[in-house]
């Protein structure tokens, strides 16, 4: 019987079948971040003689809060720093770091066929490479640091076929939000989503990462995309990848990681890629999203109340108080280039923050002069951080403030207690920042060149 | 093993972990005393828990624990005294985090049985036999993952993992893929 991409990666990592359809699954890569690693590190030090299974499988970095903003985050960062040094673990410190889901791919630490975990729910991002990558809690991370493996149930696999050429105004984020709206906010629970089809094959690696990043927002364990030449060319020459023959040997294996034509899926969902249009969220979870041309639906009453919205109100035109471009969803160089196109020669109407996904992205953006465009527009250009996405730092909103954001979660209180979040693509955030209301770039007056 | 005690019930679907434990406190590296921060940014939840100081069983709606992987949410619930969560469905990571901390995740999908849980002052959860009782009467049956149930009953998830080290190492040496 044919096997799915997921099956092939899974089967290649099963050490032992365990009761209850569980497997002891070997883990190739552990991303150790400052928020969720000090706890398991302390546990292993206290109870298991500070022995790690394989330090070369671990990559550590200062991720969410960079640099420390207060005593607690300084303690946290220092705990990770000392631990990484003591165990000779690869470590990206402030200045050379960024959001882990941006840094790990750009350094080449994730690759097709790999199993990868991190104590962060958006670890599904790395499935874009055809890896089985999942977010886990600190305890499971502890087990993996100790024994190089996790206990995991074999997953159901949902196939999502997306065919057709995307409209020029549609982005991978719009596709991601469309998938969530189609599956439902918990429609993917207990399953892996495999994305297939011509639309997916045409996506760049950065776009694939944006798409897979939001698999968790449909409840899915992860998203996965078959590796192809786009994947291989992205990884070629990256820091953690070998060169020459050794790389070609790996690439030859990666090319075999395809879903068999007769592979069976728990279910298959077809999406017409040519019909994807700009999507924006109205409610308090990413499933509560609609076309930007739609009106606020007669949805969940408590979501409407929290968001202070009335059904029937056009999404376009909702006044905003702040705008944010950043996060593991949409802060890679292609996102910043797209946003810069919109900001160029224009001025923001509301406080706007642009936060690159990594320091490498920051440097590239500055090399291209994008930082001047953002700052000429009146936006705040920062260093890399998770920032206000999860309400931790650098631009958290006040109660009642409405923010349009290129992030992945519009939960209540997420970007600040009492804050109201509308999820959108970088270009929609940029256009909205300029007009002070939810808007698309085509609503903007012609560029004003100074 | 029996988990019995008073119930705190919050009728809400998609109760995400940002509500249970705000992101701004992810800066703490301790796993202790986090109950003081439980629902800190979500007044409705906080007030409810404040008025149920002695609760040990938390009943809530579908997709509990969705969103962030932060185990802090379960550490905070546990510190409050919560020993079991009853809901019609659990988000994957939160589900696992409950098991990891000995908090019994009880899936009750039957609407009538769930209503009984919501309206209960106290409940009794018989973990060995996978039964929920109210006033001595069985109101629901549930299923636990057999392996993880064993960790709840006898502890030792990490001790179990530690026993696997040599086996995983041996497997690694033979593994076809680098």
Residues B34 and B79 sit within 8 Å (Cβ to Cβ): yes
- What is the C-alpha separation between A130 and A134, in angstroms, rounded? 12
Nearest to A121 among B69, B101, B176 (CB): B69
Which residues of chain A are within 8 Å of residue B157 when distances are taken between CB atoms? 139, 143
Q: What is the 3-state secondary structure (H, E, C) of A216-257?
A: HHHCECEEEECCCHHHHHHHCCCCCCCCHHHHHHHHHHHCCC
Taking 70 as the threshold, does the pLDDT of residue A320 lie above it? Answer: yes
- What is the C-alpha separation between A52 and A59, in angstroms, rounded? 13
Task: Pick the closest to residue A428 from A440, A416, A437, A418 (CA basis).
Answer: A440
Taking 70 as the threshold, does the pLDDT of residue B178 lie above it? Answer: no
pLDDT in tens, A199-216: 999 999 999 999 999 999
Q: Is the dihedral of CA A64, A69, A75, A78 positive or negative?
A: positive
Backbone φ and ψ for A44, nearest 5 degrees, come out as -70, -35
Suggest the residue from B16, B77, B168 to mutate for an interface test with chain A (most A CBs closer than 10 A).
B168
Listed in sequence order, the residues at least 6 apart from A314 whose beta carbon sits closer than 8 Å to its beta carbon are: A294, A295, A296
Average pLDDT score over chain B: 95
pLDDT in tens, A302-316: 999 999 999 999 999
Element of type H or E holding B142: none
In chain A, CATH 3.30.499.10 covers: 17-152, 280-443
Residues 85-114 of A with CB under 8 A from B: 113
Q: Could you write out the DSSP letters of every residue in A7-70?
A: HHHHHTTEEEEETTTEEEEE-SEEEEETTTSHHHHHHHHHHSTT--S-GGGEEEE--SSSS--S
Residues B64 and B15 sit within 8 Å (Cβ to Cβ): yes
Task: Pick the closest to residue A31 from A95, A112, A125, A94 (CA basis).
Answer: A125
pLDDT in tens, A368-427: 999 999 999 999 999 999 999 999 899 999 999 999 999 999 999 999 999 999 999 999
Task: Pick the closest to residue B120 from B107, B103, B102, B139 (CA basis).
Answer: B139
Distance from CA of A251 to the nearest CA of B (A): 12
Suggest the residue from B23, B31, B97, B155 to mutate for an interface test with chain A (most A CBs closer than 10 A).
B23
pLDDT in tens, A331-362: 999 999 999 999 999 999 999 999 999 999 99
Residues 104-163 of A with CB under 8 A from B: 113, 119-121, 135-140, 142-143, 146-149, 151, 153
| Interface contact B29-A75, CB threshold 8 A | yes
Backbone φ and ψ for A391, nearest 5 degrees, come out as 70, 25
pLDDT in tens, A14-50: 999 999 999 999 999 999 999 999 999 999 999 999 9
Among chain B residues, CA nearest to A113? B177
Among chain A residues, CA nearest to B69? A121
Which CATH entry fits the domain spanning A280-443: 3.30.499.10, 1.10.1670.10, 3.40.50.410, 1.10.3720.10?
3.30.499.10
| Interface contact B67-A121, CB threshold 8 A | yes
Using omega within 30 degrees of 0 as the cis cutoff, is the peptide bond preceding B161 cis? no
Distance from CA of A128 to the nearest CA of B (A): 19
Q: Could you write out the DSSP letters of every residue in A173-233?
A: HHHHHHHHHHH-TTTTBTEEEEEESHHHHTS-HHHHHHHHHTGGGGTBSEEEE---HHHHH
| Interface contact B145-A47, CB threshold 8 A | no
pLDDT in tens, A355-374: 999 999 999 999 999 999 99
In chain A, CATH 3.40.1060.10 covers: 155-277
Q: Is the dihedral of CA A50, A56, A58, A61 positive or negative?
A: positive
- What is the C-alpha separation between B15 and A408, in angstroms, rounded? 17
Q: Which two tokens stand for residue B17?
A: 């972990």
Listed in sequence order, the residues at least 6 apart from A206 whose beta carbon sits closer than 8 Å to its beta carbon are: A172, A332, A333, A334, A335
Q: Which two tokens stand for residue A166?
A: 């995307």
- Residue whose entry in the numeric block shows the structure tokens 């990884």: A235
Listed in sequence order, the residues at least 6 apart from B11 whose beta carbon sits closer than 8 Å to its beta carbon are: B60, B61, B118
Share of chain A above pLDDT 70, in %: 99
Q: What domains does chain B contain, in order, with CATH numbers?
A: 2-174 (3.20.19.10)
- What is the C-alpha separation between B64 and A74, in angstroms, rounded? 32
Residues A199 and A207 sit within 8 Å (Cβ to Cβ): no
- Residue whose entry in the numeric block shows the structure tokens 């889901």: A101
| Interface contact A113-B177, CB threshold 8 A | yes
Among chain A residues, CA nearest to B157? A143
| Interface contact A42-B22, CB threshold 8 A | no
- What is the C-alpha separation between A258 and A248, in angstroms, rounded? 17
Sheet with A322-325, edge to edge strand ranges: A380-381, A352-354, A322-325, A402-405, A420-423
- What is the C-alpha separation between A360 and A378, in angstroms, rounded? 23
- Residue whose entry in the numeric block shows the structure tokens 């994730």: A110
At residue B175, the pLDDT reads 74
- What is the C-alpha separation between A24 and A152, in angstroms, rounded? 7
Structural domain A17-152, CATH architecture: 2-Layer Sandwich (3.30)
Among chain B residues, CA nearest to A147? B165
Binning chain B into helix, strand and coil, the percentages to the nearest 5 are: 40, 20, 40
- What is the C-alpha separation between B124 and A51, in angstroms, rounded? 40
Element of type H or E holding A148: none
Share of chain A above pLDDT 90, in %: 98
Average pLDDT score over chain A: 97
Q: Which two tokens stand for residue A118?
A: 């991190």
Nearest to A146 among B66, B69, B162 (CB): B162
Q: Does residue A334 belong to the interface with chain B, where contact is any CB pair within 8 Å?
A: no
Backbone φ and ψ for A207, nearest 5 degrees, come out as -70, -40
Band the pLDDT of B95: cuts 50, 70, 90.
very high
| Mean pLDDT calculated for residue range A226-233 | 98
Which residues of chain A are within 8 Å of residue B167 when distances are taken between CB atoms? 15-16, 24
Q: What is each CA distance from B175 to A26, A147, A396, in whole angstroms?
A: 10, 16, 47
Structural domain A155-277, CATH architecture: 3-Layer(aba) Sandwich (3.40)
Taking 90 as the threshold, does the pLDDT of residue A329 lie above it? Answer: yes
Distance from CA of A247 to the nearest CA of B (A): 12
- What is the C-alpha separation between B42 and B50, in angstroms, rounded? 12
DSSP character at residue B12: -
Residues B96 and B122 sit within 8 Å (Cβ to Cβ): no
Nearest to B67 among A35, A143, A411 (CB): A411
Nearest to B100 among A42, A75, A139 (CB): A139
Which residues of chain B are within 8 Å of residue A245 when distances are taken between CB atoms? none
- What is the C-alpha separation between A124 and A188, in angstroms, rounded? 13
User: DSSP alpha helices (H): ranges in B17-71?
Assistant: 17-20, 43-50
Model ipTM over 0.90:
yes
pLDDT in tens, A133-177: 999 999 999 999 999 999 999 999 999 999 999 999 999 999 999
- What is the C-alpha separation between A197 and A261, in angstroms, rounded? 13
Taking 60 as the threshold, does the pLDDT of residue B62 lie above it? Answer: yes
A and B: number of Cβ contacts within 8 A:
172
DSSP character at residue B111: H
Residues 48-87 of A with CB under 8 A from B: 48, 53-54, 64-65, 70, 72-73, 75-76, 79
Listed in sequence order, the residues at least 6 apart from A198 whose beta carbon sits closer than 8 Å to its beta carbon are: A162, A163, A164, A165, A273
Q: By CB neighbour count within 10 A (0-12 exposed, 13-18 middle, 19+ buried), where does B172 fall? A: middle
Taking 60 as the threshold, does the pLDDT of residue A450 lie above it? Answer: no
Taking 80 as the threshold, does the pLDDT of residue A446 lie above it? Answer: no
């Amino acid at each position: 019987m044919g096997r799915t991409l997921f099956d092939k990666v899974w089967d290649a990592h099963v050490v032992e079948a365990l009761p209850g359809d569980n497997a002891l699954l070997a883990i190739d890569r552990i991303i150790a971040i400052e928020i969720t690693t000090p706890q398991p590190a302390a546990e292993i030090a206290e109870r298991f003689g500070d022995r790690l299974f394989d330090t070369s499988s671990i990559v550590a970095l200062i991720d969410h809060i960079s640099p420390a903003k207060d005593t607690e985050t300084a303690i946290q960062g220092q705990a990770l720093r000392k631990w990484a040094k003591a165990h000779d673990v690869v470590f990206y410190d402030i200045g050379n770091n960024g959001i882990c889901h941006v840094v790990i791919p750009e350094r080449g630490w994730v690759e097709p066929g790999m199993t990868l975990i991190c104590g962060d729910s958006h670890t599904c991002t790395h499935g874009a490479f055809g890896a089985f990558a999942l977010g886990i809690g600190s305890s499971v991370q502890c087990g993996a640091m100790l024994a190089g493996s996790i206990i995991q149930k074999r997953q159901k696999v949902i196939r999502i076929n997306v065919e057709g050429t995307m409209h020029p105004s549609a982005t991978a984020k719009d596709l991601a939000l469309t998938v969530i709206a189609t599956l439902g906010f918990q429609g993917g629970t207990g399953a892996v989503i495999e994305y297939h089809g011509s639309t997916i094959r045409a996506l760049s690696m950065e776009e694939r990462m944006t798409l897979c990043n939001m698999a968790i927002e449909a409840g899915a364990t992860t998203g996965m995309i078959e590796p192809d030449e786009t994947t291989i060319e992205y990884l070629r020459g990256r820091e953690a990848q070998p060169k020459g023959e050794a790389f070609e040997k790996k690439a030859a294996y990666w090319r075999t990681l395809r879903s068999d034509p007769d592979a069976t899926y728990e279910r298959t969902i077809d999406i017409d890629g040519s019909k994807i249009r700009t999507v924006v969220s109205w409610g308090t979870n990413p499933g509560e999203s609609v076309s930007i041309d739609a009106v606020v639906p007669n949805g969940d009453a408590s979501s409407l109340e929290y968001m202070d919205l009335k059904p029937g109100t056009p999404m376009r035109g909702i006044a905003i108080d702040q705008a944010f471009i950043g996060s593991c969803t949409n802060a890679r160089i292609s996102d910043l280039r797209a946003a810069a196109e919109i900001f160029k020669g224009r001025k923001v109407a509301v406080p706007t923050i642009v936060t690159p996904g990594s320091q490498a992205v920051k440097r590239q953006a500055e090399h291209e002069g994008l930082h001047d465009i953002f700052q000429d527009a009146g936006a705040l250009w920062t260093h890399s951080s998770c920032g206000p996405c999860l309400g931790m730092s650098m631009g958290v909103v006040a109660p009642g403030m409405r923010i349009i954001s290129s992030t992945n979660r519009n939960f209540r209180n997420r970007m600040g207690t009492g804050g109201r979040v509308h999820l959108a693509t970088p270009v929609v955030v940029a256009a909205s920042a300029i007009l002070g209301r939810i808007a698309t770039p085509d609503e903007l007056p012609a560029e004003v060149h100074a | 093993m029996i988990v019995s005690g008073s119930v705190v019930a919050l009728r809400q679907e998609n109760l995400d972990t940002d509500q249970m434990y705000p992101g701004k406190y992810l800066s703490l590296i301790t796993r202790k005393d986090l109950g003081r921060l439980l629902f800190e940014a979500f007044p409705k939840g906080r007030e409810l828990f404040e008025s149920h100081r002695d609760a040990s069983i938390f009943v809530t709606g579908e997709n509990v624990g969705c969103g962030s992987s932060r185990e802090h949410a379960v550490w905070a619930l546990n510190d409050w005294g919560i020993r079991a969560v009853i809901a019609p469905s659990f988000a994957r990571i939160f589900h696992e985090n409950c098991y990891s901390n000995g908090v019994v995740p009880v899936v009750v999908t039957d609407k009538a049985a769930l209503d009984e849980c919501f309206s209960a002052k106290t409940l009794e959860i018989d973990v060995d036999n996978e039964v929920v009782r109210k006033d001595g009467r069985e109101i629901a049956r549930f299923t636990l993952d057999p392996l993880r149930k064993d960790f709840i009953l006898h502890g030792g998830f990490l001790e179990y993992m530690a026993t696997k080290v040599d086996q995983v190492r041996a497997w690694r040496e033979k593994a076809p893929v680098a």
